[in-house]
């Protein structure tokens, strides 16, 4: 199943989950379950946005977008983070009213079973999206995966709170547990916003730089390099570096060398696009290992 098909499944699955969770609320009259259902609406919107962002990001480079459309994924992840925060604040708003005005719950056991079935479906979709995001490097899919994971966490918290409330009779545990879950969701939303913002601001890619260093040390240890720079756009890592070569080499020899380096890096860092500038050893100043990448 490719990324677009998986995103479509996430949209359809989100609709099914919303219907299931809403029925759990009508059965129990639990504000926590209602909050859980409200978050599912945001999940559906987020998954629709994921589907469109993947299609935009897959478009080839054109005259107006010479580096492609990969940043559509970063924008999608940023908006996903914002939607996660919106979901958290909706839960807080609904919960505070029940803290001061508790409502008697009904048919809790049945509602919990209904909610758990929806949670299982969400967990499966979240794992599938996360697995694909790791395989493809898609930040948009990672964002939707974590968004669904926040829904799973909130649902587990709600079920736990309602279970305890049904045993003890303390109905206030229903909204209190929803508030605890909202705090966890806020943390996840902030994390998504921070990560997507870093990529949009061309934050360096430490993990990719580490892999580049390993490849250069293993396969091209006789070469010196410096001024390594990286940034990420969608699932593509853009890297630039300067390589020091013997000034007596021909242009053809230098070109063949850079092509070998690029192929070696592409094998180790999926989706990388490398630009290598060649410099004369004398101009490089014979930089030592401690000065490389400065």
The residue ranges of every structural domain in the chain are: 3-200, 206-291
Q: Class assignment of domain 3-200?
A: mainly alpha
Fill in the DSSP letter of residue 60. P
Please give the CATH topology (third level) of the domain spanning 206-291.
Answer: Alpha-Beta Plaits (3.30.70)
Q: Same topology for domains 3-200 and 206-291, yes or no?
A: no
Rounded CA separation 86/44 (Å): 14
Q: Report the predicted TM-score, pTM, of the whole model to 2 decimal places.
A: 0.65
Residue 143: name the closest of 207, 199, 191 by CA: 191
Tens-level pLDDT at each residue, the chain (294 residues): 677 788 888 889 989 988 998 888 888 777 667 777 877 877 788 888 888 888 888 888 888 887 778 788 888 888 878 888 887 887 788 778 777 776 666 666 788 888 888 889 989 998 988 888 888 777 778 878 887 887 787 778 777 777 777 787 777 777 787 788 788 778 878 888 888 888 788 888 888 899 999 999 888 888 888 889 998 887 788 999 999 988 888 888 888 999 999 999 988 887 788 999 998 887 775 444 434 444
Structure token digits, residue 154: 């909130």
Q: Give CA separation, 35 vs 32, 83, 107, 147, 181, in Å.
A: 5, 14, 18, 15, 10
């Amino acid at each position: 199943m490719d990324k677009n098909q998986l995103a479509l499944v996430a949209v359809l699955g989100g609709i099914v989950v919303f219907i299931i969770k809403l029925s759990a609320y009508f059965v129990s009259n639990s504000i926590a379950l209602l909050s859980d259902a409200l978050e599912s609406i945001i999940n559906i919107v987020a998954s629709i946005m994921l589907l469109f962002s993947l299609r935009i990001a897959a478009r080839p480079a054109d005259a107006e977008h010479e580096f492609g459309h990969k940043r559509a994924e970063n924008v999608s992840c940023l908006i996903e983070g914002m939607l996660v925060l919106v979901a958290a604040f909706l839960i807080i708003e609904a919960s505070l009213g029940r803290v001061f005005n508790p409502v008697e719950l009904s048919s809790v056991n049945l509602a919990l079973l209904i909610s758990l079935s929806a949670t299982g479906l969400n967990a499966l979709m979240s794992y599938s999206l996360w697995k694909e995001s790791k395989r493809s490097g898609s930040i948009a899919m990672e964002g939707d995966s974590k968004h669904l994971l926040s829904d799973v966490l909130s649902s587990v918290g709600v079920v736990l709170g309602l279970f305890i409330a049904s045993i003890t009779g303390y109905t206030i545990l229903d909204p209190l547990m929803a508030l605890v879950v909202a705090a966890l969701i806020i943390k996840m939303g902030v994390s998504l916003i921070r990560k997507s913002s870093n990529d949009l601001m061309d934050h360096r890619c430490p993990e990719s730089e580490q892999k580049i260093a390993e490849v250069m040390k293993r396969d091209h240890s006789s070469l010196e390099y410096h001024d390594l720079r990286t940034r990420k756009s969608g699932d593509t890592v853009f890297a630039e570096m300067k390589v020091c070569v013997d000034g007596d080499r021909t242009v053809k020899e230098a070109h063949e060398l850079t092509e070998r380096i690029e192929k070696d890096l592409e094998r180790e860092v999926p989706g990388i696009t490398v630009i290598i500038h060649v410099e004369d050893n004398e101009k490089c100043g014979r930089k030592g290992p401690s000065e490389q990448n400065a």
